[in-house]
Structure 1
Amino acid sequence: MSLVTWQDLCLDALDVDAQARFWSAASGLSVADPAPPARLAGPTPGHTLWVNPVDRPHVVKNRTHLDIDCGSVEELVALGARVLAPAAETGLGWTVMADPEDNEFCAFVRTPEALPAYRLHGIGVDCVDPAAQARWWGDLFGVDPVHEVDGGDWWTLAGVAADDRMTLDFNTVPEPRTQPNRLHWDVVGRVDELLARGASYVGDQPDWTVLADPEGNEFCVFPPE
Protein backbone atom coordinates (compact mmCIF):
# COMPACT_ATOMS: atom_id res chain seq x y z
CA MET A 1 0.00 0.00 0.00
CA SER A 2 1.37 3.42 -0.94
CA LEU A 3 1.58 6.32 1.50
CA VAL A 4 1.85 8.91 -1.27
CA THR A 5 0.74 9.40 -4.85
CA TRP A 6 2.38 11.55 -7.47
CA GLN A 7 0.97 15.03 -8.08
CA ASP A 8 3.31 17.08 -10.32
CA LEU A 9 6.74 18.66 -10.83
CA CYS A 10 7.99 22.14 -9.85
CA LEU A 11 10.97 24.11 -11.19
CA ASP A 12 12.29 27.29 -9.57
CA ALA A 13 13.09 30.18 -11.93
CA LEU A 14 14.36 33.75 -11.88
CA ASP A 15 12.64 34.49 -15.21
CA VAL A 16 9.41 32.50 -15.13
CA ASP A 17 8.28 33.52 -18.62
CA ALA A 18 11.57 32.58 -20.30
CA GLN A 19 11.89 29.29 -18.43
CA ALA A 20 8.26 28.39 -19.12
CA ARG A 21 8.80 28.96 -22.85
CA PHE A 22 12.01 26.94 -22.89
CA TRP A 23 10.64 23.98 -20.97
CA SER A 24 7.38 23.99 -22.89
CA ALA A 25 9.30 23.61 -26.15
CA ALA A 26 11.79 21.11 -24.70
CA SER A 27 9.23 18.92 -22.94
CA GLY A 28 6.26 18.92 -25.27
CA LEU A 29 4.04 20.55 -22.65
CA SER A 30 1.89 23.60 -23.36
CA VAL A 31 1.88 26.86 -21.42
CA ALA A 32 -1.62 26.65 -19.97
CA ASP A 33 -1.16 29.64 -17.64
CA PRO A 34 1.80 32.01 -18.07
CA ALA A 35 1.19 34.09 -14.94
CA PRO A 36 3.70 33.32 -12.18
CA PRO A 37 3.76 30.58 -11.22
CA ALA A 38 3.48 29.38 -14.81
CA ARG A 39 1.66 26.10 -15.40
CA LEU A 40 2.83 23.79 -18.17
CA ALA A 41 0.13 21.22 -18.94
CA GLY A 42 0.18 17.80 -20.55
CA PRO A 43 -2.15 14.89 -21.15
CA THR A 44 -3.03 14.45 -17.44
CA PRO A 45 -2.73 16.59 -14.28
CA GLY A 46 0.21 14.43 -13.23
CA HIS A 47 2.19 15.67 -16.24
CA THR A 48 1.99 19.28 -14.99
CA LEU A 49 5.22 21.23 -14.56
CA TRP A 50 4.97 24.39 -12.48
CA VAL A 51 7.58 27.12 -13.00
CA ASN A 52 7.80 28.97 -9.71
CA PRO A 53 9.33 32.45 -9.21
CA VAL A 54 12.30 32.64 -6.83
CA ASP A 55 15.09 35.16 -6.22
CA ARG A 56 17.72 32.46 -5.75
CA PRO A 57 19.96 31.79 -8.78
CA HIS A 58 21.59 28.51 -9.69
CA VAL A 59 24.93 28.46 -7.84
CA VAL A 60 25.88 24.78 -7.48
CA LYS A 61 25.19 21.59 -9.43
CA ASN A 62 21.58 20.54 -8.91
CA ARG A 63 20.95 17.33 -7.01
CA THR A 64 17.75 16.72 -8.96
CA HIS A 65 17.55 17.03 -12.74
CA LEU A 66 15.30 16.13 -15.66
CA ASP A 67 16.02 13.53 -18.34
CA ILE A 68 14.41 14.37 -21.67
CA ASP A 69 14.08 12.98 -25.18
CA CYS A 70 14.97 15.16 -28.14
CA GLY A 71 15.36 15.02 -31.90
CA SER A 72 18.86 16.52 -31.64
CA VAL A 73 21.11 18.36 -29.24
CA GLU A 74 21.22 21.22 -31.72
CA GLU A 75 17.48 21.87 -31.42
CA LEU A 76 17.87 22.32 -27.67
CA VAL A 77 20.81 24.68 -28.17
CA ALA A 78 18.63 26.70 -30.54
CA LEU A 79 16.07 27.04 -27.74
CA GLY A 80 18.71 28.47 -25.37
CA ALA A 81 20.36 25.44 -23.77
CA ARG A 82 24.08 24.79 -23.76
CA VAL A 83 26.16 21.63 -23.85
CA LEU A 84 28.11 20.66 -20.73
CA ALA A 85 29.28 17.13 -21.59
CA PRO A 86 28.66 15.73 -25.09
CA ALA A 87 27.78 12.06 -25.37
CA ALA A 88 30.50 11.68 -27.98
CA GLU A 89 33.12 12.65 -25.38
CA THR A 90 31.74 10.83 -22.33
CA GLY A 91 30.73 7.64 -24.12
CA LEU A 92 27.37 7.73 -22.33
CA GLY A 93 23.98 7.44 -24.00
CA TRP A 94 23.06 11.05 -23.24
CA THR A 95 24.43 14.58 -23.44
CA VAL A 96 24.57 16.63 -20.25
CA MET A 97 23.17 20.11 -20.89
CA ALA A 98 22.09 23.22 -19.02
CA ASP A 99 18.90 25.20 -19.54
CA PRO A 100 18.92 29.04 -19.85
CA GLU A 101 19.25 29.39 -16.06
CA ASP A 102 22.04 26.78 -15.87
CA ASN A 103 19.91 23.94 -14.48
CA GLU A 104 21.52 20.69 -15.58
CA PHE A 105 19.52 18.13 -17.56
CA CYS A 106 20.28 15.06 -19.66
CA ALA A 107 19.25 14.90 -23.33
CA PHE A 108 18.67 11.55 -25.03
CA VAL A 109 18.60 11.80 -28.83
CA ARG A 110 15.83 9.70 -30.40
CA THR A 111 15.00 8.84 -33.98
CA PRO A 112 11.87 10.58 -35.36
CA GLU A 113 9.74 7.46 -35.03
CA ALA A 114 10.83 6.98 -31.40
CA LEU A 115 10.37 10.61 -30.32
CA PRO A 116 7.26 10.94 -28.12
CA ALA A 117 5.08 14.01 -27.80
CA TYR A 118 5.74 14.19 -24.05
CA ARG A 119 9.51 14.20 -23.69
CA LEU A 120 10.23 14.10 -19.97
CA HIS A 121 11.09 10.50 -19.19
CA GLY A 122 13.09 10.58 -15.97
CA ILE A 123 14.25 12.47 -12.90
CA GLY A 124 17.83 11.99 -11.76
CA VAL A 125 18.52 12.33 -8.03
CA ASP A 126 22.07 12.71 -6.69
CA CYS A 127 22.57 10.82 -3.43
CA VAL A 128 25.10 9.95 -0.78
CA ASP A 129 23.32 6.58 -0.42
CA PRO A 130 21.19 5.87 -3.51
CA ALA A 131 20.05 2.46 -2.30
CA ALA A 132 18.68 3.90 0.93
CA GLN A 133 17.04 6.82 -0.87
CA ALA A 134 15.43 4.56 -3.47
CA ARG A 135 14.12 2.24 -0.76
CA TRP A 136 12.75 5.15 1.26
CA TRP A 137 10.87 6.64 -1.68
CA GLY A 138 9.88 3.18 -2.91
CA ASP A 139 8.35 2.47 0.48
CA LEU A 140 6.29 5.67 0.26
CA PHE A 141 5.12 4.98 -3.30
CA GLY A 142 4.58 1.28 -2.63
CA VAL A 143 7.07 0.12 -5.28
CA ASP A 144 10.24 -1.95 -4.99
CA PRO A 145 13.34 -0.22 -6.40
CA VAL A 146 15.40 -1.94 -9.06
CA HIS A 147 19.20 -1.95 -8.89
CA GLU A 148 20.46 -1.11 -12.38
CA VAL A 149 24.02 -2.22 -13.21
CA ASP A 150 23.90 -2.34 -17.02
CA GLY A 151 26.12 0.55 -18.13
CA GLY A 152 26.24 2.11 -14.69
CA ASP A 153 25.20 1.68 -11.07
CA TRP A 154 22.00 3.30 -9.89
CA TRP A 155 18.60 2.53 -8.36
CA THR A 156 15.34 3.09 -10.20
CA LEU A 157 11.69 3.49 -9.28
CA ALA A 158 9.27 2.98 -12.18
CA GLY A 159 5.54 3.55 -12.45
CA VAL A 160 5.31 6.09 -9.64
CA ALA A 161 5.46 9.42 -11.48
CA ALA A 162 3.57 11.11 -14.33
CA ASP A 163 3.27 7.94 -16.41
CA ASP A 164 4.64 4.42 -16.64
CA ARG A 165 7.58 5.58 -18.73
CA MET A 166 8.90 8.17 -16.28
CA THR A 167 11.40 6.86 -13.73
CA LEU A 168 13.05 8.22 -10.60
CA ASP A 169 16.76 7.35 -10.81
CA PHE A 170 18.98 7.58 -7.73
CA ASN A 171 22.72 7.95 -8.38
CA THR A 172 25.83 8.20 -6.20
CA VAL A 173 27.73 11.50 -6.11
CA PRO A 174 30.71 12.51 -3.97
CA GLU A 175 29.70 16.10 -3.19
CA PRO A 176 27.42 16.94 -0.25
CA ARG A 177 24.15 18.80 -0.55
CA THR A 178 24.66 22.52 0.13
CA GLN A 179 21.71 24.36 -1.49
CA PRO A 180 17.94 23.88 -1.82
CA ASN A 181 16.95 22.02 -4.98
CA ARG A 182 15.59 24.00 -7.91
CA LEU A 183 13.55 20.99 -9.07
CA HIS A 184 11.22 19.00 -6.83
CA TRP A 185 8.12 16.87 -7.04
CA ASP A 186 4.82 17.21 -5.18
CA VAL A 187 2.88 14.32 -3.70
CA VAL A 188 -0.49 13.70 -2.10
CA GLY A 189 -0.24 12.16 1.36
CA ARG A 190 -0.53 12.63 5.10
CA VAL A 191 2.19 14.67 6.76
CA ASP A 192 2.11 12.81 10.06
CA GLU A 193 2.67 9.46 8.34
CA LEU A 194 5.62 10.83 6.35
CA LEU A 195 7.23 12.36 9.43
CA ALA A 196 6.89 8.99 11.15
CA ARG A 197 8.74 7.38 8.22
CA GLY A 198 11.74 9.72 8.49
CA ALA A 199 10.81 12.87 6.60
CA SER A 200 11.70 16.20 8.22
CA TYR A 201 9.50 19.28 8.51
CA VAL A 202 10.52 22.38 6.53
CA GLY A 203 7.48 24.67 6.59
CA ASP A 204 3.80 25.22 5.90
CA GLN A 205 2.07 27.00 3.05
CA PRO A 206 -1.68 27.68 2.86
CA ASP A 207 -2.43 24.60 0.74
CA TRP A 208 0.54 22.30 1.32
CA THR A 209 3.37 21.36 3.67
CA VAL A 210 7.04 21.35 2.70
CA LEU A 211 9.00 18.33 3.93
CA ALA A 212 12.44 16.93 3.17
CA ASP A 213 13.53 13.34 2.57
CA PRO A 214 16.36 11.71 4.59
CA GLU A 215 19.03 13.43 2.46
CA GLY A 216 17.38 16.85 2.69
CA ASN A 217 15.63 16.99 -0.69
CA GLU A 218 12.54 19.14 -0.41
CA PHE A 219 9.13 17.97 -1.57
CA CYS A 220 5.61 19.31 -1.07
CA VAL A 221 2.76 17.31 0.42
CA PHE A 222 -0.87 18.04 -0.44
CA PRO A 223 -3.61 16.54 1.75
CA PRO A 224 -5.88 13.87 0.26
CA GLU A 225 -9.24 15.18 -0.91
Structure 2
Amino acid sequence: MATRFVQINMKAHDDSALGRFWAEVLGWGVDSEAPGVTNLEPLGFSYPDPSAVCIDLIARPEPKVGKNRVHLDLATTSAAHQAELVARLKGLGATLADVGQGDVPWTVMADPEGNEFCVLEPRPLYRDTGPIAAVVVDCADPAAMARFWDEAMDWTLHEVTADGARLRSAQGVGPYLEFVRTPDTKSGWNRVHMDVAPYRGDDPAKEEARLRALGASDPGIDQSGIHWRILADPEGNEFCLLSPR
Protein backbone atom coordinates (compact mmCIF):
# COMPACT_ATOMS: atom_id res chain seq x y z
CA MET A 1 0.00 0.00 0.00
CA ALA A 2 1.05 3.60 -0.54
CA THR A 3 -0.38 7.04 -0.96
CA ARG A 4 0.27 9.42 -3.81
CA PHE A 5 0.67 13.18 -3.61
CA VAL A 6 -2.32 14.52 -5.56
CA GLN A 7 -2.81 18.18 -4.66
CA ILE A 8 -2.03 21.23 -2.57
CA ASN A 9 -4.77 22.58 -0.31
CA MET A 10 -4.58 26.37 0.05
CA LYS A 11 -6.89 28.38 2.31
CA ALA A 12 -8.17 31.67 0.89
CA HIS A 13 -10.39 34.56 1.93
CA ASP A 14 -11.68 34.67 -1.66
CA ASP A 15 -11.09 31.28 -3.25
CA SER A 16 -12.50 32.36 -6.61
CA ALA A 17 -10.30 35.44 -6.98
CA LEU A 18 -7.17 33.70 -5.73
CA GLY A 19 -7.97 30.75 -7.97
CA ARG A 20 -8.13 33.05 -10.99
CA PHE A 21 -4.73 34.47 -10.06
CA TRP A 22 -3.06 31.07 -9.81
CA ALA A 23 -4.80 29.80 -12.94
CA GLU A 24 -3.34 32.76 -14.85
CA VAL A 25 0.09 32.15 -13.34
CA LEU A 26 0.17 28.46 -14.23
CA GLY A 27 -1.91 28.49 -17.41
CA TRP A 28 -4.33 25.99 -15.83
CA GLY A 29 -8.08 25.51 -15.95
CA VAL A 30 -10.50 26.54 -13.21
CA ASP A 31 -13.44 24.53 -11.84
CA SER A 32 -15.49 24.43 -8.64
CA GLU A 33 -16.84 21.29 -7.01
CA ALA A 34 -18.81 23.23 -4.37
CA PRO A 35 -19.38 26.76 -3.05
CA GLY A 36 -16.22 28.04 -1.40
CA VAL A 37 -14.01 25.59 -3.29
CA THR A 38 -12.00 26.40 -6.43
CA ASN A 39 -10.13 23.60 -8.19
CA LEU A 40 -7.14 24.15 -10.48
CA GLU A 41 -5.53 21.63 -12.79
CA PRO A 42 -3.78 21.65 -16.18
CA LEU A 43 -5.99 21.80 -19.25
CA GLY A 44 -6.80 18.32 -20.51
CA PHE A 45 -5.56 16.76 -17.26
CA SER A 46 -7.00 13.45 -16.01
CA TYR A 47 -6.94 13.59 -12.19
CA PRO A 48 -4.98 12.18 -10.48
CA ASP A 49 -1.76 11.97 -12.45
CA PRO A 50 1.85 12.43 -11.23
CA SER A 51 2.60 14.83 -14.07
CA ALA A 52 1.08 17.60 -11.94
CA VAL A 53 0.18 18.36 -8.34
CA CYS A 54 -3.17 20.16 -8.54
CA ILE A 55 -4.36 23.00 -6.30
CA ASP A 56 -7.59 23.23 -4.30
CA LEU A 57 -8.41 26.66 -2.86
CA ILE A 58 -10.76 26.55 0.13
CA ALA A 59 -12.56 29.60 1.51
CA ARG A 60 -11.72 30.25 5.16
CA PRO A 61 -12.11 33.44 7.24
CA GLU A 62 -9.00 33.10 9.39
CA PRO A 63 -6.23 35.63 8.67
CA LYS A 64 -2.80 34.58 7.45
CA VAL A 65 -0.31 34.78 10.32
CA GLY A 66 3.42 34.62 9.65
CA LYS A 67 5.26 32.92 6.81
CA ASN A 68 3.69 29.81 5.32
CA ARG A 69 5.63 26.61 5.97
CA VAL A 70 4.63 25.20 2.58
CA HIS A 71 5.12 27.15 -0.64
CA LEU A 72 5.51 26.73 -4.39
CA ASP A 73 8.65 27.28 -6.47
CA LEU A 74 8.00 28.25 -10.10
CA ALA A 75 10.32 27.08 -12.87
CA THR A 76 11.85 29.29 -15.57
CA THR A 77 13.86 28.44 -18.66
CA SER A 78 16.18 31.47 -18.92
CA ALA A 79 17.10 34.70 -17.18
CA ALA A 80 14.85 36.55 -19.63
CA HIS A 81 11.97 34.18 -18.85
CA GLN A 82 12.47 34.74 -15.11
CA ALA A 83 12.37 38.54 -15.54
CA GLU A 84 9.34 38.33 -17.83
CA LEU A 85 7.49 36.04 -15.39
CA VAL A 86 8.19 38.33 -12.42
CA ALA A 87 6.89 41.30 -14.40
CA ARG A 88 3.77 39.38 -15.47
CA LEU A 89 3.12 38.26 -11.89
CA LYS A 90 3.30 41.85 -10.68
CA GLY A 91 0.73 42.75 -13.31
CA LEU A 92 -1.56 40.00 -11.98
CA GLY A 93 -1.34 41.33 -8.42
CA ALA A 94 1.70 39.61 -6.89
CA THR A 95 4.23 41.60 -4.88
CA LEU A 96 7.87 41.20 -3.96
CA ALA A 97 8.37 39.66 -0.52
CA ASP A 98 11.20 39.69 2.01
CA VAL A 99 11.44 36.54 4.13
CA GLY A 100 15.07 37.16 5.05
CA GLN A 101 16.41 35.54 1.87
CA GLY A 102 19.20 38.08 1.36
CA ASP A 103 20.99 38.25 -2.00
CA VAL A 104 19.78 35.17 -3.89
CA PRO A 105 19.31 34.44 -7.62
CA TRP A 106 15.63 33.60 -7.24
CA THR A 107 12.81 36.09 -6.63
CA VAL A 108 10.57 35.74 -3.58
CA MET A 109 7.04 36.97 -4.13
CA ALA A 110 3.61 36.87 -2.48
CA ASP A 111 0.27 36.25 -4.15
CA PRO A 112 -2.66 38.69 -3.64
CA GLU A 113 -3.47 37.09 -0.27
CA GLY A 114 0.14 37.14 0.94
CA ASN A 115 1.10 33.51 0.30
CA GLU A 116 4.82 33.36 -0.41
CA PHE A 117 6.24 31.65 -3.49
CA CYS A 118 9.52 31.75 -5.41
CA VAL A 119 10.30 32.39 -9.06
CA LEU A 120 13.48 30.40 -9.55
CA GLU A 121 16.37 31.25 -11.81
CA PRO A 122 16.73 28.67 -14.63
CA ARG A 123 17.97 25.33 -13.28
CA PRO A 124 18.50 22.17 -15.39
CA LEU A 125 16.92 20.06 -12.63
CA TYR A 126 13.52 21.63 -13.25
CA ARG A 127 13.54 21.74 -17.05
CA ASP A 128 10.74 19.14 -17.35
CA THR A 129 8.62 19.72 -14.25
CA GLY A 130 6.01 21.98 -15.78
CA PRO A 131 5.31 25.44 -14.32
CA ILE A 132 5.66 24.25 -10.71
CA ALA A 133 9.26 23.24 -10.08
CA ALA A 134 8.73 22.12 -6.50
CA VAL A 135 6.46 22.08 -3.50
CA VAL A 136 8.71 23.21 -0.64
CA VAL A 137 8.20 22.42 3.05
CA ASP A 138 10.08 24.22 5.82
CA CYS A 139 11.28 21.85 8.53
CA ALA A 140 13.77 21.30 11.34
CA ASP A 141 15.06 17.91 10.15
CA PRO A 142 14.94 17.37 6.37
CA ALA A 143 16.38 13.86 6.58
CA ALA A 144 13.73 12.68 9.05
CA MET A 145 10.95 14.26 7.02
CA ALA A 146 12.28 12.66 3.85
CA ARG A 147 12.36 9.24 5.54
CA PHE A 148 8.73 9.59 6.58
CA TRP A 149 7.44 10.75 3.20
CA ASP A 150 9.62 8.30 1.28
CA GLU A 151 7.89 5.45 3.14
CA ALA A 152 4.48 7.12 3.15
CA MET A 153 4.25 7.73 -0.60
CA ASP A 154 5.15 5.98 -3.83
CA TRP A 155 7.64 8.74 -4.66
CA THR A 156 11.39 8.28 -5.05
CA LEU A 157 13.95 9.89 -2.76
CA HIS A 158 16.52 11.72 -4.91
CA GLU A 159 18.77 13.58 -2.50
CA VAL A 160 19.33 14.10 1.23
CA THR A 161 21.77 16.59 2.76
CA ALA A 162 22.02 18.27 6.14
CA ASP A 163 20.00 21.21 4.88
CA GLY A 164 17.53 19.68 2.45
CA ALA A 165 15.95 16.65 0.86
CA ARG A 166 14.17 16.06 -2.43
CA LEU A 167 11.62 13.50 -3.70
CA ARG A 168 9.82 13.09 -7.02
CA SER A 169 7.21 10.80 -8.50
CA ALA A 170 8.65 7.37 -9.28
CA GLN A 171 7.58 7.99 -12.89
CA GLY A 172 10.05 10.89 -13.11
CA VAL A 173 7.42 13.48 -14.03
CA GLY A 174 5.87 16.54 -12.41
CA PRO A 175 7.23 18.73 -9.62
CA TYR A 176 9.59 17.77 -6.83
CA LEU A 177 8.70 17.68 -3.13
CA GLU A 178 11.48 19.37 -1.18
CA PHE A 179 12.21 19.73 2.53
CA VAL A 180 14.37 22.68 3.54
CA ARG A 181 15.91 23.25 6.95
CA THR A 182 14.69 26.50 8.52
CA PRO A 183 15.23 27.95 12.01
CA ASP A 184 11.63 29.03 12.59
CA THR A 185 9.17 26.71 14.31
CA LYS A 186 5.62 25.76 13.36
CA SER A 187 2.95 27.88 15.01
CA GLY A 188 -0.74 27.32 14.42
CA TRP A 189 -2.24 25.31 11.59
CA ASN A 190 -0.75 25.44 8.11
CA ARG A 191 -2.64 27.63 5.63
CA VAL A 192 -1.14 25.55 2.81
CA HIS A 193 -0.84 21.78 3.13
CA MET A 194 -0.47 18.55 1.17
CA ASP A 195 -3.30 16.20 0.21
CA VAL A 196 -2.49 12.55 -0.47
CA ALA A 197 -4.72 9.69 -1.60
CA PRO A 198 -4.49 5.90 -1.59
CA TYR A 199 -4.86 4.02 -4.85
CA ARG A 200 -8.27 2.84 -6.02
CA GLY A 201 -9.19 -0.35 -4.20
CA ASP A 202 -6.97 0.28 -1.18
CA ASP A 203 -8.52 0.35 2.29
CA PRO A 204 -8.28 3.93 3.66
CA ALA A 205 -8.48 2.74 7.27
CA LYS A 206 -5.52 0.42 6.73
CA GLU A 207 -3.63 3.20 4.97
CA GLU A 208 -4.28 5.55 7.89
CA ALA A 209 -3.01 2.91 10.31
CA ARG A 210 0.12 2.43 8.17
CA LEU A 211 0.82 6.17 8.13
CA ARG A 212 0.38 6.36 11.90
CA ALA A 213 2.84 3.48 12.32
CA LEU A 214 5.35 5.47 10.26
CA GLY A 215 5.03 8.49 12.55
CA ALA A 216 1.87 10.37 11.53
CA SER A 217 -0.28 11.65 14.38
CA ASP A 218 -3.67 13.16 15.18
CA PRO A 219 -3.54 16.98 14.89
CA GLY A 220 -6.44 17.41 17.33
CA ILE A 221 -8.92 18.78 14.78
CA ASP A 222 -12.65 18.00 14.88
CA GLN A 223 -13.20 15.61 11.97
CA SER A 224 -16.78 14.59 12.67
CA GLY A 225 -18.21 16.39 9.64
CA ILE A 226 -15.80 15.22 6.93
CA HIS A 227 -15.31 12.00 4.99
CA TRP A 228 -11.52 12.22 4.71
CA ARG A 229 -8.89 12.03 7.45
CA ILE A 230 -6.62 14.82 8.67
CA LEU A 231 -3.25 13.70 10.02
CA ALA A 232 0.03 15.42 10.91
CA ASP A 233 3.53 14.47 9.79
CA PRO A 234 6.37 13.98 12.32
CA GLU A 235 6.91 17.76 12.58
CA GLY A 236 3.22 18.51 13.07
CA ASN A 237 2.38 19.66 9.53
CA GLU A 238 -1.22 18.81 8.76
CA PHE A 239 -2.04 16.78 5.66
CA CYS A 240 -5.23 15.18 4.37
CA LEU A 241 -5.68 11.51 3.51
CA LEU A 242 -8.38 11.58 0.85
CA SER A 243 -10.57 8.78 -0.44
CA PRO A 244 -8.86 6.22 -2.72
CA ARG A 245 -8.40 7.51 -6.29
TM-score (norm 1): 0.85
The answer as to whether partners of 2:154 and 2:169 remain within 8 angstroms in 1 is: no
- 1:216: which partner in 2? 236
Following superposition, which runs of at least 4 residues in structure 1 exceed 6 angstroms of deviation?
Answer: 114-117
User: How far does residue 182 in structure 1 lie from its aligned partner after superposition?
Assistant: 1.4
The answer as to whether partners of 1:154 and 1:171 remain within 8 angstroms in 2 is: yes
CA deviation string 1:30-50 (max 9, x = no partner): 112284201112223134311
Are 1:183 and 2:183 an aligned pair? no
- Letter aligned with residue 115 of structure 2: N
In the superposition, relative to structure 1, how do residues 117 and 196 fare at CA in structure 2: closer, same or farther (>3 Å)?
closer
| Aligned-pair identity (%) | 33
Query: Aligned with 2:166: secondary structure?
Result: strand
The CA distance in 2 between the partners of 1:91 and 1:60, in whole Å, is: 21
1:169 maps to which of 169, 178, 181: 178
- Letter aligned with residue 165 of structure 1: G
The answer as to whether partners of 1:160 and 1:167 remain within 8 angstroms in 2 is: no
- 1:63: which partner in 2? 69
Are 1:159 and 2:165 an aligned pair? no
In the superposition, relative to structure 1, how do residues 51 and 40 fare at CA in structure 2: closer, same or farther (>3 Å)?
same
In the superposition, relative to structure 1, how do residues 201 and 53 fare at CA in structure 2: closer, same or farther (>3 Å)?
same
Are 1:137 and 2:111 an aligned pair? no
User: How far does residue 21 in structure 1 lie from its aligned partner after superposition?
Assistant: 0.9
- 1:52: which partner in 2? 58
In the superposition, relative to structure 1, how do residues 139 and 131 fare at CA in structure 2: closer, same or farther (>3 Å)?
same
- 2:86: which partner in 1? 73
In the superposition, relative to structure 1, how do residues 142 and 96 fare at CA in structure 2: closer, same or farther (>3 Å)?
same
Query: Aligned with 2:212: secondary structure?
Result: helix
Q: Which runs of 5+ in 1 are unaligned?
A: none
Query: Which structure features the higher share of strand residues?
Result: 1
- Letter aligned with residue 211 of structure 2: L
User: How far does residue 115 in structure 1 lie from its aligned partner after superposition?
Assistant: 8.4
- Letter aligned with residue 46 of structure 2: T
The CA distance in 2 between the partners of 1:143 and 1:45, in whole Å, is: 17
Are 1:198 and 2:215 an aligned pair? yes
Are 1:126 and 2:138 an aligned pair? yes
The answer as to whether partners of 1:39 and 1:51 remain within 8 angstroms in 2 is: yes
- Number of residues of Structure 1 aligned to a counterpart in Structure 2: 217
User: How far does residue 118 in structure 1 lie from its aligned partner after superposition?
Assistant: 4.5
In the superposition, relative to structure 1, how do residues 91 and 8 fare at CA in structure 2: closer, same or farther (>3 Å)?
closer
The answer as to whether partners of 1:30 and 1:41 remain within 8 angstroms in 2 is: yes
Query: Aligned with 1:67: secondary structure?
Result: strand
TM-score (norm 2): 0.78
The answer as to whether partners of 2:156 and 2:170 remain within 8 angstroms in 1 is: no
CA deviation string 1:154-205 (max 9, x = no partner): 11011169x7131011011111100211111211232111112111123434
RMSD of Structure 2 on Structure 1 (CA)? 2.8
- Letter aligned with residue 40 of structure 1: L
